[in-house]
């Protein structure tokens, strides 16, 4: 029964840490750039698009395709940074918890 009590205590700690992590990620803002900073995209730590900034020199019909490509690249850059921040937050949330090995080599988060 002691093991069950420890497992429940760890589960409660994990739940609290996960809630704290979710709050930190919601408040986090990450900026991705492309075109030497001519296009900037800001995402929340959860990946929600918050802002887009475009250099005025890209606002011509001739630059439309370039602008579209730069927007996609800036979003990909920001998304990569969000994923790195999420992994770091998950590491913090699970630090010190003695989690059992999961079957099949699964790792958290799923």
pLDDT per residue rounded down to tens, the chain (110 residues) = 578 888 888 888 888 888 888 888 889 999 999 999 999 999 999 899 999 999 999 999 899 999 999 999 999 999 999 999 988 888 887 776 665 554 555 555 54
Q: For position 107, what pLDDT does the model report?
A: 56
pTM, 2 dp: 0.73
**What are the angstrom distances between the C-alpha of 36 and each of 17, 32, 73?**
37, 11, 11
pLDDT at 50: 96
Q: What is the pLDDT of residue 90?
A: 84
Question: What pLDDT does 110 receive?
Answer: 43
How confident is the model at residue 96, as a pLDDT? Answer: 66
In the chain the domains, ranked by start, together with CATH numbers, are: 30-91 (3.30.1310.10)
Angle separating helix axes 2-27 and 64-94, nearest 10 degrees: 150
């Amino acid at each position: 029964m002691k093991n069950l009590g420890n497992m429940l205590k760890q589960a409660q700690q994990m739940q609290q840490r996960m809630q704290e992590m979710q709050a930190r990620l919601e408040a986090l803002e990450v900026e991705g750039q492309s075109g030497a900073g001519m296009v900037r995209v800001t995402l929340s730590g959860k990946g929600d698009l918050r802002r887009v900034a475009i250099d005025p020199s890209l606002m011509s019909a001739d630059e439309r395709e370039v602008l579209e490509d730069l927007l996609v690249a800036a979003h990909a850059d920001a998304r990569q940074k969000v994923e790195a921040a999420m992994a770091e937050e998950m590491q913090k949330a699970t630090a010190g918890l003695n989690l059992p090995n999961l079957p099949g080599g699964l790792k958290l988060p799923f």
